[in-house]
Amino acid sequence: MRILVYPHDLNMGGSQMNAIELAAAVRDLGHHCLIYGRRGVLCDRIRELDLEFISSPDPGRRPSVRVARDLHEVAAHRGVDLIHGYEWPPGLEAGITSRRWPSVASVCTVMSMAVAPFIPRWMPLIVGTAQIAAYERAHGRPVVHLLEPPVDLHHNKPVAESALTAFRNSWGLHHRPIVACVGRLATELKAEGVLTAIDVAGRSAAGPNRFHLVLVGDGPARPLIESAAADVNRRAGEKIVVLTGELSDPRPAYAVADVVLGMGGSALRSLAFSKPLIVQGERGFYKTLSPTTSDTFLWQGWYGVGDGSSIGSEKLAAELDPLLRSEDERRRLGEFGRELVQRFSLERAAEKQLQIYREAVDATRRGSSIQLEDLRAGSTFVAHYARKKAARLTGHRQADDFNAHPVAGLKTAEGTAPRNDGGMRQSVDLKEPLDADSGSLVYFAGVDWDAVVGTDRMLVQALAQKTHVIWVDPPQSVWSAYRRGVDVARVSNSAYNVTRLHTYVPPGVSRTGIREISEQATIRNVKRLLREEQIVVFAAIASGTQSFLSRLAIPGAMKIFFATDDMVAGARLWGMSPDKILKDREMNLRAADLTLAVTPELAGELRREDTPVRLFPNGFDDDRYRDIATVRPAADIWLDRPIIGVFGQFNERTDITLLRAVQEAGLSLLLVGPRYFATSDASTAFQELVASPRVQYIDRVSPSLLPGYMKALRVGLTPYVDSAFNRRSFPLKTLDYLAAGVPVVASNVAPVTDLDRRFVRTADGPREFIEKIVDLLGESYSPREIQRSVDGLSWTCRATELFRILSEIESGQARAEKGTPWWS
């Protein structure tokens, strides 16, 4: 892949340093990266990393048509596959190029503390904090990636003592602790904090906690900061505050410091030097990184908003004093920071960024209709510049538009709209455990009851062992039912303690307007059943793509949104609109008292500040494989032993390349399950595979017959392609293999962190995939030993855990007097 990386500036700054170092790391993964932009001090770092640099024309007013034309010419001449713009001006210019030349993908990274609303929503967006990512998703942006500012741990490391001595001598830093601040001297976001630090340094000059303040960087606020520093130094009669200006290599400043004051990428880089960190923000925000504050920064980023600038000096002094007094405390917090920064390594970030590139290029090849979004983005941009011009005329110009209004400073920082619950929502703690007498549970499933048995049905059947469950099918159009010969009664008993509710609606269920009518019809159908049977409901769970929770109002009933997959990321697999699914998901999140997610990555995707997200992984059927030792292999299997197998649905999520590698390695391959391919290419590849020697394909079989096929396996496979959808999923098949006593080889995509790695091996690429299969074939484990590894992970255990969670949480709605129907 050929990637053009376009930082917004090549003078010293965190965003542009990230752009350059990530480009080099992606290059080291086997891709060609070019750096594009105006020359600046960071060109030295570009040369040091042996990256090719292409100079851009002077943009003038941004976004620049001149730059967009030049980008188009460079991309055409150099065969560029993707343009990556950092911050909004390069992002828009990259987007303009993509629109003029659709074969080139574009991606935009925003490391500012808020995102320009006129960046088109069709552009994949990368942001630096979980809070900003949540805000953008809540406001309708379907493709948002979180990539926290990376740190090159090989480059940012303690420097030689001789270099430290030279730095101290050069700037006259002797006999006092050193507090360092490295970063761009911007008017918005940063100047306030730096001026406060200068004030604190001046006040401390005659006290026991005297220190040198070293400021490294340049920017528009430098004259103001130089004036304040000169005033403090003049009053102190010595050089308390040192301004070094911009340094091409700021590492000695980090290394010489006793304490670092910073935000964003600069704050993270300080941790690589094992330095205690005070995170600087705005309006008097200063907070020391420690085990008790780290979660805050991992959510909102390395920044914050305080209670007012007037108390900033007091706050900073209070954070500094214990660090300046205690070398042991500095050492303890420095070691904690060094351990924490490992999660921000450049190598991990490069792998994630490369995956974002692949998905962006793939989406560009599929194509989409984005003219309306261009119109929205363009009109928003015009309005922005009109406001900006008006501000200049009235003397209120701001230098860094979107850093002036950070997401972290909003009253509802997660960005979600106010909850709409008809005024009924109160907080009531459910002290008593839930049981059969608590009432019924309504379950809005993502699929109908007769679909391939998956998470919804397995969980409901386990829950039904303890309480009555009303299973609500997704609404079905009358035309679809006629075409497929479906004749399901409105109300039926599908399983023990499970009532199935089916709703027929007009054709066009997925179309705007009809979709809303269908959802309302389903809710009316639920209410009708509750009235007819006089059912008391204690909880409603929704796992599908419709916004049922936002439309359901039952006093006292908890609302739970259960995310079994990232349906927004997978929307195009089913030919659906990600924008509509995102909108409905956000409505469910706002209405929910609790959100459950099957994987940690999906939980992070769904986190919003006002609704808790709990990890709730998939399980396996307790009974299906319990007696597999006495089961005979299915008689229709004709493959030679040993047999390698895949059970489940086959579609675009399946990595056919890995399965082809198994066949070409001379191994017997058994494929069991239905196939649903949306593209002809994928369908053809699968047909060619099943027609190959040593491959047997068996279509959908009854769940009761699965143990006979599973008994024939020596190794089970979970061959997923690497995609955002798969990374956030929890494959049921992996647990099923283990429950049957079969070891597993999985592509290194879906999470297996809580599973016994003796029996679950992960692999990257076909060669390693085959190596892991051969390794397991050469090892000997008893099936019972493998089965014991998943004790406690069955659907029965998951159901028990869910009842425990529901008993503990506060419902968030006024719970009706026990036993009183909501409709009375």
Residue 822's pLDDT band (cuts 50, 70, 90): very low
Task: Give the chain's mean pLDDT.
Answer: 88
Q: What burial class does residue 764 get, using C-beta atoms within 10 Å of its C-beta: 0-12 exposed, 13-18 middle, 19+ buried?
A: exposed
Cα(674)–Cα(692) distance, integer angstroms: 18
Extended strands (E) in 707-821? 713-718, 744-747, 760-763
Q: How far is CA 395 from the centre of its chain?
A: 40
Mean pLDDT calculated for residue range 358-380: 77
For 149-158, 312-321, 738-747, 791-800, which range has the lowest pLDDT when averaged over its residues? 149-158
CB 159 within 8 A of CB 255: yes
Instruction: Provide the pairing of β-strand 125-127 with 144-146.
Output: parallel
pLDDT digits (tens, 9 = 90+) for 644-697: 999 999 999 999 999 999 999 999 999 999 998 888 899 999 999 999 999 999
Tokens of 151: 């740190």
Q: What is the pLDDT of residue 818?
A: 38
When pLDDT is cut at 50, 70 and 90, the band that residue 437 belongs to is low
Residues 6+ apart with CB under 8 A from 205: 232, 235, 236, 238, 240
Q: What angle do CA 372, 375, 381 make, to 5 degrees?
A: 145
Tokens of 588: 């469910």
Q: Can you give the pLDDT at residue 1?
A: 94
Helix (H, G, I), strand (E, B) or coil at 664: helix
pLDDT for 112: 84
For 176-222, the pLDDT digits (tens) are 999 999 988 988 778 999 999 999 999 998 888 899 999 999 999 99
* pTM over cut 0.85: no
Residues with Cβ within 8 Å of residue 346, at least 6 apart in sequence: 21, 22, 25, 150, 151, 152, 153, 154
**Could you tell me the two tokens for 392?**
């200049």
Q: 554 and 573 in contact (C-beta within 8 Å)?
A: no
Write out the two tokens for 336.
């904690």
Q: At what angle do helices 327-340 and 264-271 cross, to 10 degrees?
A: 110
- pLDDT for 47: 95
- How would residue 797 be classed by pLDDT, with cut points 50, 70 and 90? very high
Nearest of 824, 733, 738 to residue 781 by alpha carbon:
738
β-pairing verdict for 241-245 and 144-146: unpaired
**Count of beta carbons in the 10 Å neighbourhood of residue 649:** 15
The 10s digit of each residue's pLDDT in 447-467 is: 999 988 889 999 999 999 999
Per residue in 413-434, pLDDT (tens digit) is 444 333 333 333 333 333 344 4
d(CA 459, CA 793): 12
Rounded Cα–Cα distance for residues 611 and 67 (Å): 43
Give the tokens for residue 439. 């009432």
| CA gap 230, 217 in Å, rounded | 16
Ramachandran sector of residue 786 (left: φ over 0; alpha: ψ -120 to 50; beta: rest): alpha
Eight-state DSSP code of residue 570: T
Q: List the one residue out of 217, 52, 15, 235 whose CA is nearest residue 128.
A: 15
Name the 3-class secondary structure at 31: coil
- Using one digit for the tens of pLDDT, what is the confidence trace for 160-169? 889 899 999 9
Place of tokens 């269920």: 509
pLDDT tens, 330-359?
Answer: 999 999 999 999 989 999 999 999 999 999
- Sorted by sequence, the CB contacts under 8 Å of residue 781 that are 6+ apart come out as 743, 758, 759
For 61, residues 6+ apart whose C-beta sits below 8 A from its C-beta are none
Rounded distance between C-alpha atoms, residue 33 and residue 478, angstroms: 53
Q: What is the DSSP letter of 221?
A: T
Inter-residue contact 546 to 522 (CB < 8 Å):
yes
Q: 145 and 124 in contact (C-beta within 8 Å)? A: yes
pLDDT of residue 447: 92
- 82 φ, ψ to 5°? -155, 140
pLDDT reported for residue 573? 72
Q: Say how many C-beta atoms besides its own lie within 10 A of residue 694's C-beta.
A: 17
